[in-house]
Structure formats: C-alpha cells, structure tokens
A and B are shown apart, each in its own frame.
Chain A
Amino acid sequence: MPLILNEEQEMLQDAANGFLKEKAPVAAFRKVRDNKPADGFCRELWSEMAEMGWAGIIVDETHGGSGFGYVGAGVLAEQMGRNLTASPFFSTSVLGATAIQKYGTTKQKDENLAAISSGEMLFALAVDEGPRHNPSRIAFSAKPAGNGFVLSGTKTFVADGHVADKLIIAARTSGAEGDPDGITLFLVDADAPEIVRERTPMVDSRNAANISVDGLEVTGDDILGELDGGYAALEGILSAGRAVLSAEMSGSAQQVFGITTDYLKEREQFGQKIGSFQGLQHRAAHLATEIEMMKSAVLKSLKDLDQDFDNAGMTCSLAKAKTGQVAQLATKEAIQMHGGIGVTDEYDVGLYFKRVHVAQQMFGDAGFHSDRWAKNSGF
C-alpha cells in the first residue's frame, strides 16, 4: 500500500481546503476567541461540517457516517490545523466515534453513531487526572453498588468537556493507581446532577474543562468495552486521538512554515531580503527537512489505524512524538524569524504557537512517547 493519498482522499483534501479557507479561516477563530461565546465554537459551522459528512468521517455508512477512515479524518484535521479551526471534531468525531465504533455494544452503536454523524451529539473523553498525560494513573473510582457502580472523582483538561452531551470516563474498578489493569470505561450523560463541569480557559483559546463527579450511579450497560479491561480500549482511542491530533499539528506546522518562508522572501533588512541570509536559510532548510519526516510519520500512523487498528499504537506514538517536536520547532522559528511582529497579537503566528503547545501536551508529549517507545522495545 503506497504511502500517499489516493484520489478520493485528495479530493477530500481539496474540498476541506476550499471550505475551511472560506468558512473557518484564522479570522473566524479570532472572532470566537474575542467574542467568548459560551460554547467556545460556532454551532452553525459545526452543522455545516456535519452536513458534509465530516462529523461521521470515520463512522461506517450503515450508521450514517461517511466511512473515510482515519486517513480521511487526518486529511480534515490537517486542513483544520492550517486554519486553526475550532470545532468539536476532535473530541466527538475522532475520540467519541472511535470509542463507540471500536468498543461499543450493538446497542451503544445504534444509540450513538448516527447522532455523532449528524453532529447532534457531542462527546468528550475524560482520562487525565493531573497536568501531565498519564493514562494508567487513574484514581477516579467506580465502586460496585447494587446492580451497578457509583462513580466519584475528578478529571482534568477534558477537551470539549463543558459542551459535551456524553462523557467517556476512565475509572478504576480494581487495582491500584498506576496499574493498567482494573480500569473500566463508562459512557454517561454529561448533564447528570452529580457531575460538575468547570470550563478551564486555555492559552490556545480552545475548549477544556475540569470535571468532578460525586456519587453518580451507573449500571453495567453503561460500560464501554470490558470491565477491568478498559485500558486496551483506552489505548486504542488514545492512539486514534494521537494520530489525528498529529495531523492537525502537522497542518499548523506546514501553514506557519509557509507564512514564514513567504516573509523571508519579502522582508528586507541591510538592503537585502532576509531570506538570502545563510543564518536563516539553514534553519529554514533544516525545518523543511524535519517537516517532511513529520508528514511521513503522520500519514503512516493514519494508514496503520485503517489497516490494522489494534497494532497501530507504536506508529501513533511515533507520529505524536515527531509532530510534537517539529510543530513546536516550526512555531518557535516562525516567531523568531518574524522578529518583533512575531510576538504581536495581531499577527497569526503566535496563535499557531499557542495551539501547538497545547496539542503537543495533550495525550503525551515527545518525552512521553519516546519513553513509551523504549519500554515497548524492551530497553
């Protein structure tokens, strides 16, 4: 299988590029940031995306989706990264849809996938309980009670947590904090009175929330995947999230690098275009090379998810590690090479810098993933 997009995927890319440039460019994101709507994103835009089949991009056609798989999701995310598009796409259409489609029961699929595809229902994944990603360090408790469980605990940095209709919560049903065994995923209504959601404004102006749950009663039907064996499902959902988030960061990195090389070709100092200076040329050429490496890792991880989902974990880690580093380098160099205007709010490169920082923290930074790689490789 060649490591390039096929014709259908290229058409999707062109369509996404055209739509987002017109409907959701960086200026639209600025508006959301400055007007501070309660949702933190534009509902009309999301409806239009859903109409085009983006909300159900990975969902099977039998459940109302468009069946484009993870390469398709990555193609869209890359264009969103280029335009800094804020939408519930990532938490709902990637994390939520993966969770239900890959690990849900028939009933859970029937109840949720069509609603995801139509854009009506929003999802959020609640995993981390501290500021650094660590999916096995879960203390959030699910204690057996009667026929079901009682959930209590807190979750941090839940993307789209405050707008979600449904939450997927990773809870501990047995074992000790840090133990991958004994974790169970629960699918619950987000508006239950036992759940308190507090929006946490982030530096990238996207949506996140801290969530605390106090004594929420659930049943065995609310379990997503295996009791005590939820970690495997969590890993699968996170892998999909890592790959698509990498695609988004890759788009941001490529866009900000394009803005920067354009600037190097225009800006004059000492009577010359600054792009003619070797001190800048070599850094730009190094970055261009790294961007090529990043693109390959991202595409491979998306293809692996489509071809062999259960064994794609390591390529997704590779993509996330590489992209975290390269996208950060691209945004840092963008600011530095622009000089003074690079640190102004008016200019766009700072917005990319902020978004990439938050995205590379989410679901593990480069250090987390190289550690994971080393562990998996036996050293």
Chain B
Amino acid sequence: MSELEEFRTDVRAWLEENCPDEMRDGDITAEAQCWGGRQWEFQSEAQKIWFERALSKGYTVPSWPKEYGGAGLSTEQAKILDEERQAINARKPLSNFGISMLGPALLAYGTHEQKAQHLNGIARGEIRWCQGYSEPGAGSDLASLKTKCEDKGDHWLINGQKIWTSNADISDWIFCLVRTDFDAPKHEGITFILIDMASEGISVKPIVLISGHSPFCETFFDNVKVPKSYGEGNLSVVGEVNRGWDVAKNLLVHERGMLGTMSPLRGTTGPENLGSFAAEHIGHDSAGRLDDPALRQRIAQAQLDNWAYNLTVERMTDEANAGNGLGAKSSMLKYAASELTKRGTELRMDIEGTAAATIGADGIEYGSLANNWLYNRAYSILGGTTEVQLNIISKRVLGLPSQ
C-alpha cells in the first residue's frame, strides 16, 4: 500500500470514529457552520465535540504547518482528507474568513511571530476575522480607498470608514486596507494592517438589505490608535508599509477561489435537486415530462451548466495539485459560481410561483426561499463584481490590451 493509500485508510477510520452522526448531514449553509470567535456559542454538543476532536488533530486547518495550529498535510493529503470528509457528508469542523482569506495571505507574507499569534488563534477558533476592504467611495475601484493611517511614532492613527464588512458586529479582529501615502500613485500608498475590533474609536452599524436581513456592516474608525507592534516581531502591518496592495491581491485570489468553489451552489439554493423540486410542485404531463415545458428546459440547462461547473472546480483543483496554479482563473470560477447561484434561486422562485413571493406578517422570514433569492443578488457583486471578474479574465488570463 502506498503512503497516500495508507493515509486515506487512517483518515477514513479517524473520521468514522470521531465525527458525530449529527455532523454528517452535509449541511453547508452559513447557519450550520462553526464560525468560532470570542462571541461564539456552539449550537449543539455534537458541533462542539466535532470541533474539539478536529482541533486536537490539527484538522481545522489541515494544510497549515503544525507550529501554527495545522496538521502540516501535503496538498495530496489535504485533498484526501477533504474527499473522505465529504464521502461521509461531514460538515467542516470550522470555517471562517480567517481560514479562507487571511490565513493564506499571512502564510505568504507574515513574519513568524505574526503567524504564531494569528494563525494559531484562527486554527483554535478563538478569533473571528472580518475584512476591511470596500469603502463608500471605493467599490469596484478598490485601490482608490481613502481610510487614513498616520504614523504617530509608536502607533498608527486611523480615521475613515469601511463598508460591506461581513459580520463586523460579531468579529474580533479586522484585516484592513488603509492609505499611508496620499501622494503616491493609488496602488502604492496602501498598507495592510491587523486591528483588534475592541479598539477604542471603532463602531459598527449593520446594513439592512433588500432581503430584510444582512451580515454586512458599516465600520467607522474615529481616531483609532493601533500599536505598531503587538510584541517582538509581531507587527500590526503585514508586509511592507505602502506595499499592502500586494498582500491584498494575494488575498483576493484566495477569496475568489473560495467564492468560486463555495457552498451556495449546492443544497437548497443551487441548481441541484431543482428537477425533483419542480416535479413535486408542478407535476408531470401525460408523457411523464414536467408539466411546464419552458421551465423544464431552463431547469435542465441550469443543471447541465452546474454539472460542468462542478467538474471544472474538480479539474482546476487537480491541475493545481499537479503544479499548475489556479491564478487569475479563480475569477472564472467566481464569475460562474455567482451567476449559477442566482439562476438556481431564480428558478426555485419561478417553480413556486406566487407562493414563494408571499411573506409573513413580520416580513421576509430568515432562511426562506425569498430571503435566499434576494440575498443571492449580492453574489455577483461581493468579492469583485461579475464585471470586475470579466476585466480580470480579459487582462490576466487572455492578455488583452489595456486602453
């Protein structure tokens, strides 16, 4: 038996023994995830047990080095663990922006001391991170951001505003893009900085969306003092001052990769199971076909496109493991995933007809189909709009010229 096969056998046995039955429902909705953080309360004993057992093996962040809370798995091993986990329909023991976005950027750009503090905090589910990127005047044109960061000797002084900060109200720390040089060209005066959300001068206000609910906030910085250093070698700035755009771009590639391979495509909002859902609501004609030919065609098309998309995620992951990194192609996955996700819920709304457009006396119920359908409009906007992804594909994948 090869080493990898042996590893697979061990992992399978470990999962079988340690993953509680309640955690094997394949639920990948945001509500079912274990997010961690100072304010986190486990939703069930099973969720807690699963998290703790995974943590003891380094499996909350399997591919990170052991000294930073991971299991030090190779890409092949991490893939095997993921396959075996999915094979028993197990939830991820922990998922959050620290794992999917900040972690990979810190691994690439952080000092040992930064990694030791922050990666371990993420791995252990102690700190929940949010992302301070967009501003009211800096959306698609992110590099035009204006949140001001001044050098005050032993600390930085920050003033400004961020917007669309996901879960800022329940997060502990924020990784933030700030402007440290207002005279330099816009990409060259940006710094990537880590800030404790408990700092004096930070305030947060949730934004109500068309769905009636929102994970998004406005985050205000009013004379916020950020120490230059959180301890020896543990600076608040990641990478070099004024070179934060490099870190930001690296992180955005991971964000797109995450969004491009994300969960909404499966389960109740994606195109999977739409056929049986439609058959249940609409019924069949005498020839055994869905009794709405136009809708039937749209559903079939969405499912085929979804299938081809899933295979592309698989293929690009295999290519990445074979040494051909995803790079700017993550924009293709992000573009395809967000458009497919919207199509999935649009179709569900059409299948249920006016029943789906009916809301309760207290407004749109959280988690309802209408709620998902309205929320999903954001998928082709957040993490870089569809149009921004198409710009990136044009320039970085196809090499088309700039004006």
Contacts and interface: CB of A to CB of B under 8 A. Distances in A.
Contact-size category for A: 35 or more
Interface of A: 2-4, 261, 264-265, 272-273, 275-278, 281-282, 284-286, 288-289, 292-297, 299-300, 318, 321-322, 367, 369-371, 373-375, 377-379
B393 interface: yes
Interface stretch (B111-119, B149-157, B307-315): B307-315
Contact of B400 (A3, A276, A299): A276
B332 interface: yes
Contacts of B399: 261, 265
A39 to B, nearest CB: 37
Nearest to B319: A4
A278 B391 contact: yes
B289 A379 contact: yes
Given A3-B311, A276-B403, A379 B304 contact: no
B192 to A, nearest CB: 28
B311 A300 contact: yes
Given A281-B390, A374-B290, A379-B299, A297 B308 contact: yes
Given A281-B394, A282-B394, A322-B304, A297 B311 contact: yes
Contacts, number: 128
Given A289-B336, A371-B300, 17 more contacts: A275-B400, A282-B394, A285-B398, A288-B397, A293-B312, A296-B314, A299-B315, A318-B304, A318-B308, A322-B308, A370-B301, A370-B304, A371-B297, A374-B275, A375-B288, A375-B289, A378-B275
A375 B397 CA distance: 38
B296 interface: yes
Interface of B: 275-276, 278-279, 284, 288-290, 296-297, 299-301, 303-305, 307-309, 311-312, 314-316, 318-319, 321-322, 329, 332, 335-336, 387, 389-391, 393-395, 397-403
Q: Is the interface of B mostly helix, strand, loop or mixed?
A: helix
Contact of B387 (A282, A292, A293): A282
Nearest to B324: A4
Given A3-B311, A373-B300, A288 B401 contact: no
B2 to A, nearest CB: 15
Given A276-B401, A374-B289, A379-B279, A284 B304 contact: no
Contact of A261 (B288, B304, B391, B400): B400
B398 A288 contact: yes
A297 B301 CA distance: 14
Contact of B303 (A278, A286, A296, A377): A377
A3 B318 contact: yes
A2 B315 CA distance: 7
Contacts of A4: 315, 318-319, 322
A261 B400 CA distance: 7
B332 A288 contact: yes
Given A3-B315, A276-B402, A293 B275 contact: no
26 contacts: A3-B314, A261-B400, A265-B400, A276-B403, A281-B390, A281-B400, A282-B391, A284-B394, A284-B398, A289-B332, A289-B393, A293-B311, A293-B312, A296-B308, A296-B311, A296-B312, A296-B314, A300-B311, A367-B297, A369-B304, A371-B297, A373-B303, A377-B276, A378-B275, A379-B279, A379-B289
